[in-house]
């Protein structure tokens, strides 16, 4: 009658894979507590860590909307539940904040109902949460938050996702500066057309990154962590972006780019020690511009 579920932050895009690549990190992450109650329907009894910004109405909060959709899909009109959401990461951080909440919620409900759906079957529901939170039902945050590891979205219609193995010594450094970027805005500023030249570059890097990860070829990973389509446009939303990126590479990161829609930045490194040093250097660079930040290092 009580379930507590954790879902992790995620790094979407991973440089060249806009809307198609994402991976889960160890921390931070959101927690949903779900308790049964006698009356049918789902209510939110508390939300912590959001500074009062998220809707408390279960018909408007992405977490509970996703849960209500699952109940509807299952034809379950009897279930009654009370939700407490613990937000452990800022909104608009580029760390998959809305997706971690939605995934924890839908996962907790599915567990309480005795797992009527598989994790993969829960994915379209979690994607609906993204549509509510930012206007687009992308899967590159919810996918890895739900399934773990490094996930590829091969196709959206029909939905086709798969996981790939990554090298054991591969670490992510995720640095979250104390500024906010609205995902909807960060999508709005993108162009709808891509030149053939840029498409060719991007496809080469996408293929290179996947091959590099699967073959444990760190040089190939490093050469492929290049985004010629989205990063050049979004970088303007992040103060000190170029400086922070340069410092990360200078300290041994294989590559550095924007995490999701930003403003968080991520790097991949070989070995935990390098990943930690890279994080310190990135934080110091943000600090010289008066921007405080948090850094998280995880194996992927």
Told to check if 13 binds ligand HSE by CB under 6 A, we report: yes
Q: Does 9 bind ligand HSE (CB under 6 A)?
A: no
Tell me the window of 11-19, 51-59, 60-68, 121-129 that interacts with ligand HSE (CB under 6 A). Answer: 11-19
CA-to-CA distance for 173 and 165, rounded, in angstroms?
A: 18
Q: Which residue number, 17 or 105, has a Cβ lying nearer to ligand HSE?
A: 17
Residue ranges of alpha helices (H) inside 33-96 are: 62-74
- Please tell me whether residue 19 binds ligand HSE under the rule CB under 6 A: yes
The residue within the footprint of ligand HSE, chosen from 58, 93, 101, 141 (CB under 6 A), is: 141
Quote the least distance from Cβ 102 to ligand HSE, whole Å: 12
Query: Is 260 an interacting residue with respect to ligand HSE (CB under 6 A)?
Result: yes
Contact between 12 and ligand HSE by CB under 6 A: the answer reads yes
Task: Select from 76-84, 138-146, 164-172, 277-285 the region that touches ligand HSE (CB under 6 A).
Answer: 138-146
Interatomic CA distance for residues 291 and 6, integer angstroms: 29
Q: Cβ 88 to ligand HSE, closest distance in Å?
A: 17
Backbone angles phi, psi at 162, to 5 degrees: -150, 160
- CB-count burial class (<10 Å; 0-12, 13-18, 19+) for 181: buried
CA angle 106, 109, 115 (to 5 degrees): 100
Binders of ligand HSE among residues 71 to 130 (CB under 6 A) are 96
Alpha carbon distances (Å) from 258 to 41, 94, 158, 173, 226: 39, 8, 27, 12, 11
Question: Torsions phi, psi of 60, nearest 5?
Answer: -120, -15
Binding part of the chain for ligand HSE, among 46-54, 137-145, 168-176, 246-254 by CB under 6 A, reads 137-145
- 167 CB contacts (<8 Å, ≥6 apart)? 213, 216, 218, 270
Q: How far is the CB of 241 from ligand HSE (least distance, A)?
A: 15
Q: How far is the CB of 185 from ligand HSE (least distance, A)?
A: 10
Q: How far apart are CA 239 and CA 189, in angstroms?
A: 17
Does the footprint of ligand HSE cover residue 202 (CB under 6 A)?
A: no
Residue with the two structure tokens 């410092």:
247
Q: Is 21 in the site for ligand HSE (CB under 6 A)?
A: no
Which of 187, 223, 272, 280 binds ligand HSE (CB under 6 A)? It is: 187
Q: Which parts are annotated binding residues for ATP?
A: 90-100
């Amino acid at each position: 009658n009580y379930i507590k579920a954790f879902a992790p932050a995620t790094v979407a895009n991973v440089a060249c894979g806009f809307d198609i690549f994402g991976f889960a990190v160890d921390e931070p992450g959101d927690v949903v507590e779900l308790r049964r109650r006698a009356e049918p329907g789902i209510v939110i009894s508390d939300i912590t860590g959001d500074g009062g910004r998220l809707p408390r109405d279960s018909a408007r909060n992405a977490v509970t909307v996703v849960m209500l959709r699952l109940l509807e899909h299952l034809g379950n009109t009897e279930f009654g539940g009370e939700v407490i959401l613990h937000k452990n990461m800022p909104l608009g951080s580029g760390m998959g904040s809305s997706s971690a909440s939605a995934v924890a919620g839908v996962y907790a409900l599915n567990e309480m109902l005795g797992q009527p759906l598989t994790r993969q079957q829960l994915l379209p529901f979690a994607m609906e949460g993204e549509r509510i939170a930012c206007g687009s039902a992308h899967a590159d945050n919810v996918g890895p938050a739900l399934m773990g590891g490094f996930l590829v979205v091969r196709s959206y219609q029909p939905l086709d996702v798969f996981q790939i193995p990554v090298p054991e010594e591969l670490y992510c450094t995720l640095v979250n500066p104390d500024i906010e970027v609205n995902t909807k805005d960060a999508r709005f500023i993108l162009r709808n057309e891509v030149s053939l030249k840029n498409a060719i570059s991007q496809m080469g890097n996408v293929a290179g990154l996947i091959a590099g990860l699967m073959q444990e070829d760190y040089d190939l990973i490093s050469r492929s962590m290049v985004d010629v389509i989205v990063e050049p446009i979004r970088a303007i939303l992040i103060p000190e972006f170029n400086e922070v990126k340069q410092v990360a590479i200078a300290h041994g990161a294989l590559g550095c780019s924007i995490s999701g829609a930003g403003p968080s930045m991520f790097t991949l490194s070989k070995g935990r020690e390098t990943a930690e040093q890279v994080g310190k250097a990135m934080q110091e660079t943000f600090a010289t511009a008066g921007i405080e930040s948090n850094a998280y290092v995880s194996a992927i």
